Structure 1
Amino acid sequence: MEHGHEIGSHSLAHFAGLTFNMDTLIMTWITMAIVIVLAIAATRRIELQPRGWQNFLEMAVVYLLEQVETNMGSKGQKLAPLIITLFLFLVVGNELGLVPGFTSPTNDINTTLGLALMIVLIVHVLGIKNKGFVRYFKHFFEPYVPFVIINIIEEVAKPITLSFRLFGNILAGEILLLVLGMLVPYFVPTLWLAFSVFVGIVQAFIFTMLSISYLSNSMQDGH
């Protein structure tokens, strides 16, 4: 493995003919570690009246479970751990770039596209499992055979729009925060920092809710 290569602010590593963004990989590992630690901390001493991180985690879990139940029904309960973990990863990952010396793993299109492709792959796997191979792929040709082109474009657009929305918002927020820090007094960057925290949570929520919507289609009997 070869290190010490820099493009902009990204450290690259080359292995087996592939190029890896080490900044993204390291920040992804840190994000996963933080999610695990916070989950353990929130469930280690569960209180009847939750406070702090336990309160936020409990509200998030309850709300996501309600959304899973509403959109997917009882079949969707098996996907609840995936949905909850995805949301927590996105929240922590989006906010990590606001900490000095860190960057968000979600400011890299490789991360967001990878997550989006994971969701779309699960959608198709569940669709085939729940509806059967022939019945599932038959809906791409409905209501008329020529619609197959439109339906395929729609399927291709799902991971693209899902990933670019998250990537664009997080990257733009971090860049603007750096620019404001260099051009204006501390007050304005502080305000933008607070707004960026809000944006990070909202973007995690949007990505998760769209994922639930896509997954629910594969769980339903209708088209």
Structure 2
Amino acid sequence: MHEIGVRETVQFAGLTFNWETLVMTWISMAIVLLIAILATRNLKMVPTGAQNIVEGLIVWLREQTLTSLGPKGEFLCPLIVTLFLFLIVANWLGLVPTMASPTNDLNTTLGLALFIIVMVHTLGVYMKGMHYIKHFFQPFPIFVIINVIEEIAKPITLAFRLFGNILAGEILIIILLMLAKWAILPSVAWLAFSLFIGGVQAFIFTSLSLAYLANAVKDSEE
């Protein structure tokens, strides 16, 4: 388990990068790719092992996507599956000794949140045209301010919720491990609880992303 708060940074083209976060993000992506390769390497009609687990997860996430977005949103299923897998791997990575969760860095969670919000508005304009833009100004003028505040708050709350929960969990695990001589059982219990929290936070982030995407993709009468 790494020491939280000590972040190694590198300078490139006048920009500062958190080297640890970059490395852990790439490791998380590599694990997701490995899961996909192992699950699809020897596909069987009757799935077993890793194929069974991944297929069950994909079916469940597809159902969540179609429920939230309707049939028109099925093209977003690969994105939702990838997002959830990345988040759950990234959230759990910090529970491995010497590793750190990339999601304990606000840069990662804010980047993901901004990506979702940009996609929401891009799809909204593409699929609904001026009608999508028009609804932000109705009724005018009071709700214009409210809508602007709401849109600004969406990525902030989405990012801080995930970041805060993962960071707090890792800090507490480190504290318990420092007291491991007499706190072995609490450490194990909190580790198991952190696994649960990591999964829940991945689900919450994905579900909220679906809710935001529904405003852009789903027809108002659906």
1:185 to 180, 183, 187: 183
- Alignment of 1:197 onto 2:210: no
Aligned length: 216
User: Kindly, what percent of the aligned residue pairs are identical?
Assistant: 60
1:127 to 121, 124, 141: 124
1:111 to 108, 111, 119: 108
Q: Distance in 2 between matches of 1:50 and 1:178?
A: 39
On the 8 A contact 2:72/2:218 being kept in 1, the answer is: no
What amino acid sits opposite 1:201 in the alignment? G
Please name the residue that 2:147 is paired with: 151
Secondary structure (helix, strand or coil) at the match of 1:140 reads helix
Q: Distance in 1 between matches of 2:98 and 2:33?
A: 21
Please name the residue that 2:53 is paired with: 56
- Deviations 1:182-204 (Å, cap 9, x if unpaired)? 12421110111011011101100
The alpha-carbon deviation at position 58 of structure 1 amounts to 1.9
Q: Distance in 1 between matches of 2:51 and 2:45?
A: 11
The alpha-carbon deviation at position 72 of structure 1 amounts to 1.3
**Please, which runs of 5 or more residues in structure 2 have no aligned partner?**
none
Q: Distance in 1 between matches of 2:216 and 2:67?
A: 14
Q: Distance in 1 between matches of 2:168 and 2:51?
A: 30
- Alignment of 1:27 onto 2:27: no
1:86 to 83, 97, 100: 83
Secondary structure (helix, strand or coil) at the match of 2:186 reads helix
Q: Distance in 1 between matches of 2:5 and 2:110?
A: 21
Which moves more between the two structures, 191-200 or 58-67? 58-67
Q: Distance in 2 between matches of 1:146 and 1:79?
A: 33
Please name the residue that 1:3 is paired with: none
- Deviations 1:136-162 (Å, cap 9, x if unpaired)? 221111133211000110011110111
TM-score normalised to the size of structure 1? 0.92
**Please, which runs of 5 or more residues in structure 1 have no aligned partner?**
1-6
Q: Distance in 2 between matches of 1:55 and 1:165?
A: 31
Please name the residue that 1:212 is paired with: 210
Q: Distance in 1 between matches of 2:73 and 2:197?
A: 28
What amino acid sits opposite 2:163 in the alignment? F
On the 8 A contact 2:66/2:73 being kept in 1, the answer is: yes
Please name the residue that 2:134 is paired with: 138
Q: Distance in 2 between matches of 1:155 and 1:126?
A: 15
Per chain length, whose mean CA-contact separation is higher, i.e. which structure has more relative contact order (CA < 8 Å, sep 6+)? Answer: 2
Q: Distance in 2 between matches of 1:52 and 1:117?
A: 35
What amino acid sits opposite 1:162 in the alignment? L
Please name the residue that 1:164 is paired with: 160
